Amino acid sequence: MSTVGIIGLGYVGLPLCKLMCDAGHGVIGFDIDPKKVELLRSGRCYLAHLYERFGRSFLCDMLATTRFTVESETARYTDCDALVLCVPTPLTDDRKPDLSFVVRTVEGVAERLAVRGRPQLVVLESTTYPRTTRDVVKPILDRAGVPFRLAFSPEREDPGGSHDGRTIPKLVGGIDAASRQAAVELYATAFETVIPVGGDDGGAEVAEAAKLLENIYRSVNIALVNELKIVLDAMDIDVWDVIDAAATKPFGFARFTPGPGLGGHCIPIDPYYLSSIAQKYGEQAHMIELAGRINTAMPLRVAEKTLDAIGHPRPDSLRRVLILGLAYKPNIDDVRESPSFELIRLLTEAGCEVQYSDPHVPSTHPMRQWGDLRMHSIALTADSVSSFDAVVVSTAHDGFDWDLIARHAKVIIDTRNALAGHITQGRLIKA
């Protein structure tokens, strides 16, 4: 077994540490955030869904093996036979790829590779546009003047989903066939199915583009059902009935559902990585851009439907709105890019008093985009629910008491069809 360094201990890197540790490797986790390093070293995990997936003691168990250590400095990169990069790839303010984390991290890897003086396998897992591994990462590593293998393997993490990461097939491409093979051998120790992609050139670009296709596929199809929702709503046809009906087709149809907008770390962001690089190659990614516009417009539609239902607030008549669900998808605590924040902003700007309830998100934390909202989840009781002019269902957590909401809400704006089958007596508006 070898020593594997995993750089960036977030949603992607931390579960990977667990899988590599289970496979018997020595694992060194690296993160530049000293708070995360301190927590992990004391056996505490900041990602609650990992406790559900791996059990409450998983970090302590990993530390107890003595095969898992956590570092904030790069010095121990030199001890690693393989380094796997799981650092952020966000968008800039003008929605362009921001590779600054990748570039800074790879510069650190190159420095240490020069010190190490022996070959190392480097794998990028961060989602990015095709050719990043070959055109951005490789030239930096070349500066070390030491041989290396370099591969790309996209992460298919499913926060809150039922998939055990080990069983999700792992795509691997390299900058050459030997690099791909080295990465395949590493991942085969931890994953049930490893799929080498591409041809003699190693296939890094196929692996990079496949990851984007997976997320663009979702973004475009969600935009399609969101658009259908608007059209059918105007015709007084329930889009949810239509989707259920179409989904009975046993081939050629995949079920996607509408909602209040896109959330999460991948689908709202990754498509822009491809549309942006397309422009650099003189092409336009029309579908991606259109899907982005349709999905981004959803929170405004939901806010407008809410205001239409309860009337616009006036100085003499305040309107109170309760948003159900701050996380971007059910049963998790991840609020990144959640459309609920845009709903809060739009309704607050329209003069409403807005509160939220989310059993997974007790309080808001300061965020770059939204500032410090200082909001706290309220408990759902008959009194609290009935004290609002409208309840907006943004995320349908299993933990919500839909019967209570159906019985006591004055008006329900349901973006998730969560109240289907409940008696709401004309107080339900689907949005």
Ligand X SMILES: NC(=O)c1ccc[n+]([C@@H]2O[C@H](COP(=O)([O-])OP(=O)(O)OC[C@H]3O[C@@H](n4cnc5c(N)ncnc54)[C@H](O)[C@@H]3O)[C@@H](O)[C@H]2O)c1
Given a contact cutoff of 8 angstroms between Cβ atoms, the answer to whether 10 and 35 are in contact is no
Q: Which is nearer to ligand X, 32 or 114 (CB)?
A: 32
- Residue keyed to tokens 């050459």: 176
Closest residue (Cβ) to ligand X?
10
Please tell me which residue in 21, 45, 86, 266 is annotated as part of the active site.
Answer: 266
Strand 3-7: give its sheet, edge to edge: 68-71, 26-30, 3-7, 82-85, 120-124, 148-152, 170-174, 194-196
Q: Would you state the structure tokens that stand for residue 149, as one six-digit string? A: 């293998």
* Contacts (CB under 6 A) with ligand X, residues 163-202: none
209 belongs to the binding site for ligand X (CB under 6 A): no
Q: What angle do CA 225, 231, 232 make, to 5 degrees?
A: 85
87 belongs to the binding site for ligand X (CB under 6 A): yes
Q: Report the DSSP beta bridge partners of residue 68.
A: 27
78 DSSP assignment: G
Judged by CB under 6 A, the residue of 159, 198, 313, 325 near ligand X is 159
Q: What are phi and psi of 109, to 5 degrees?
A: -65, -45
Residue 331, sorted as left (phi over 0), alpha (psi -120 to 50) or beta, turns out to be left
Q: Which is nearer to ligand X, 33 or 81 (CB)?
A: 33
Judged by CB under 6 A, the residue of 89, 306, 338, 340 near ligand X is 89
363 DSSP assignment: B
Judged by CB under 6 A, the residue of 80, 122, 126, 409 near ligand X is 126
240 belongs to the binding site for ligand X (CB under 6 A): no
127 belongs to the binding site for ligand X (CB under 6 A): yes
Pairing of strands 26-30, 68-71: parallel
> Which stretch, 51-59, 155-163, 175-183, 372-380, contacts ligand X (CB under 6 A)?
155-163
Task: Round to whole Å and give the CA distance between 168 and 158.
Answer: 9
The nearest distance, CB 291 to ligand X, in angstroms, is 18
Task: Round to whole Å and give the CA distance between 247 and 419.
Answer: 20
The nearest distance, CB 100 to ligand X, in angstroms, is 9
The nearest distance, CB 14 to ligand X, in angstroms, is 8
The nearest distance, CB 148 to ligand X, in angstroms, is 18
Q: What angle do CA 332, 337, 343 make, to 5 degrees?
A: 95
The nearest distance, CB 85 to ligand X, in angstroms, is 8
160 belongs to the binding site for ligand X (CB under 6 A): no
Task: Round to whole Å and give the CA distance between 147 and 150.
Answer: 10
The nearest distance, CB 300 to ligand X, in angstroms, is 26
Judged by CB under 6 A, the residue of 22, 157, 208, 414 near ligand X is 157
Active site includes 80? no
> Which stretch, 86-94, 197-205, 290-298, 312-320, contacts ligand X (CB under 6 A)?
86-94
* Contacts (CB under 6 A) with ligand X, residues 10-39: 10-13, 30-33, 36
How far separated are the first and last CA of the chain, in Å rounded? 54
Q: Report the DSSP beta bridge partners of residue 27.
A: 4, 68
Q: Which is nearer to ligand X, 31 or 389 (CB)?
A: 31
Judged by CB under 6 A, the residue of 140, 182, 266, 302 near ligand X is 266
Q: Among 155, 192, 196, 190, which residue's Cα sits nearest to residue 177?
A: 196
Residues marked active site are found at 266
Interacting residue ranges for ligand X, rule: CB under 6 A = 7-13, 30-33, 36, 86-89, 101, 104-105, 125-127, 155, 157, 159, 265-266
